Amino acid sequence: MLELRSGRVVHVTLEVEPGDGQNLVTEDVTVVEGDVATISCRVKNSDDSVIQLLNPNRQTIYFRDFRPLKDSRFQLVNFSNSELRVSLTNVSISDEGRYFCQLYTDPPQEIYTTITVLVPPRNLVIDIQKETAVEGEEIELNCTAMASRPATTIRWFKGNKELTGKSEVEHWSDMYTVTSQLLLKVGREDDGVPVICLVDHPAVKDLQTQRYLEVMYKPQVRVSQNYPLQGLTREGEPLELTCTAFGKPQPTDMRWLRVDDEMPQHVVVSGSNLLISNLNKTDNGTYRCEASNAVGKSHADYMLFVYDPPTTIPPPTTTTTTTTTIPTTITGFTQLPNSAEELDYGDLSDSRAGEEGAIRSVDHAVVGGVVAVVVFAMLCLLIILGRYFARHKGTYFTHEAKGADDAADADTAIINAEGGQNNSEEKKEYFI
């Protein structure tokens, strides 16, 4: 059974009963150096026999309620026929060992209890190889826990993240010194982050020490556009850029330059700001801001492209053309700009809307034209058919039976027909 008393003294309770017929009971004690250890000799089924307590050198500490040993650190806590309880204050390592409980019976009975003394680390120190590291370097940290018993376990943390170190243990004079080594590659994000050395030991709780990392790094540069805030950089308009740089140490040198070309004469540079009051296409190019400190130099680029000035787009127009047969409406288009460079975002949206409306108008015109052609074709067909049927309508006569009206019979009628067979070639038919 494990028992924690006063947050520091740890007792390992073990009831030991020697062979048959013996009725002495005691328990082992684990105590932190400097605390109080309590030794208890108890008797089961007491018969009023005498109880005494002896130290590891078998010197009598207490005989019943009398203390023959002249060590005032031993004090009687309780005495009765069934128990002898003694306290030992300000425990040291020299007090560690076996203590004997004796019961004067026939034969005498004896049992021992063991006192174990824990010694917490006396000092916890972090040594760092370099007080100030440069970004990308690997540094060495050592944490030492001195003079503990038993040996401590050392754990490393960077912020809330646990790291792995390598430990070495030295043993001298029943004490242990543990040193743990940590190799750490640092970056700019580690600047100001605590590195913690924490000790796991049964004699102490939450023992730790820490060192804050100091990391130097080259500048981090950023270029921002102050004007125009949004949209395109157009010819004739101004441009203002601002360069910001952060580093450790803080950058001391900052300058503007134009990549692969000379800086235009009308460009105004004031500290971290660059101003062009009247843009033109000769200003096109890459502008670079450079910043440096004791660690190194960094830069950020801004690519400038000057667009044409904004233009006004005329509204879409409609043209109507009429023929003699079928009226047809043709919707015209307004020519769109050839490139997006001539438009702002709003102009592009308007032109897209006009283009979509024009496409819808063309679709309606095409459908109407097709329908008109079909109707016209049908009308023409009806007119032709009407004239054809009109020419073949009514009664018409021939001269084949002329002179046969008065004939008595058919033969006579044929003979009397005008012209007879001889005139048959001259007979013609006429259409009205």
- pLDDT tens digits for range 207-216: 999 999 999 9
The separation between CA 223 and the C-alpha centre of its own chain, rounded to angstroms, equals 24
Distance from C-alpha of 85 to C-alpha of 27, rounded to nearest angstrom: 12
pLDDT at 393 over 80: no
pLDDT at 418 over 60: no
Q: Cβ-count burial of 316 within 10 angstroms (0-12 exposed, 13-18 middle, 19+ buried)?
A: middle
Distance from C-alpha of 260 to C-alpha of 257, rounded to nearest angstrom: 9
Span 218-237, average pLDDT:
92
pLDDT at 359 over 70: no
pLDDT at 353 over 70: no
Which pLDDT belongs to residue 173? 86
Question: Tens digits of per-residue pLDDT, 318-327?
Answer: 544 444 433 4
Distance from C-alpha of 132 to C-alpha of 182, rounded to nearest angstrom: 16
Which pLDDT belongs to residue 169? 97
pLDDT at 7 over 70: no
Span 311-338, average pLDDT:
46
Distance from C-alpha of 422 to C-alpha of 276, rounded to nearest angstrom: 116
Distance from C-alpha of 282 to C-alpha of 361, rounded to nearest angstrom: 43
Torsion sign over Cα 412, 416, 421, 427:
negative
Span 390-400, average pLDDT:
57
Distance from C-alpha of 40 to C-alpha of 94, rounded to nearest angstrom: 20
Which pLDDT belongs to residue 80? 92
* Minimum mean pLDDT range among 37-51, 148-162, 170-184, 379-393: 379-393
Taking all residues of the chain, what is their mean pLDDT, rounded to a whole number?
Answer: 81
Name which residue leads in pLDDT, 18 or 386.
386
Span 289-318, average pLDDT:
86
Query: Confidence class of residue 403 from pLDDT cuts 50, 70 and 90?
Result: low
* Minimum mean pLDDT range among 73-77, 110-114, 405-409: 405-409
Distance from C-alpha of 77 to C-alpha of 70, rounded to nearest angstrom: 17
Which pLDDT belongs to residue 161? 95
* Minimum mean pLDDT range among 8-12, 156-160, 182-186, 213-217: 8-12
Question: Tens digits of per-residue pLDDT, 232-276?
Answer: 899 999 999 999 999 999 998 999 999 999 999 999 999 999 999
Name which residue leads in pLDDT, 254 or 360.
254
Name which residue leads in pLDDT, 349 or 159.
159
Which pLDDT belongs to residue 345? 42
Predicted TM-score (pTM) of this structure? 0.61
DSSP string, 256-312: EEETTSPPPTT-EEETTEEEESS--GGG-EEEEEEEE-SS-EEEEEEEE-PBPPP-P
**Contact between 291 and 243 (Cβ < 8 Å):** yes
The separation between CA 36 and the C-alpha centre of its own chain, rounded to angstroms, equals 54
Which pLDDT belongs to residue 364? 73
- Whole-angstrom CA distances from 227 to 100, 168, 277 are 91, 62, 10
Distance from C-alpha of 64 to C-alpha of 47, rounded to nearest angstrom: 14
Residue 307 neighbours by CB distance under 10 Å: 19
Omega prior to 228 cis, within 30 of 0: yes
Which pLDDT belongs to residue 92? 95
Distance from C-alpha of 65 to C-alpha of 51, rounded to nearest angstrom: 9
End-to-end CA distance of the chain: 140
235 — phi, psi (to 5°)? -65, 135
Name which residue leads in pLDDT, 141 or 6.
141
Task: Work out the percent of the chain whose per-residue pLDDT is above 90.
Answer: 59
Which pLDDT belongs to residue 406? 60
Question: Tens digits of per-residue pLDDT, 96-155?
Answer: 999 999 998 888 899 999 999 999 998 899 999 899 999 999 999 999 999 999 999 999
Span 401-425, average pLDDT:
54
pLDDT at 343 over 50: no
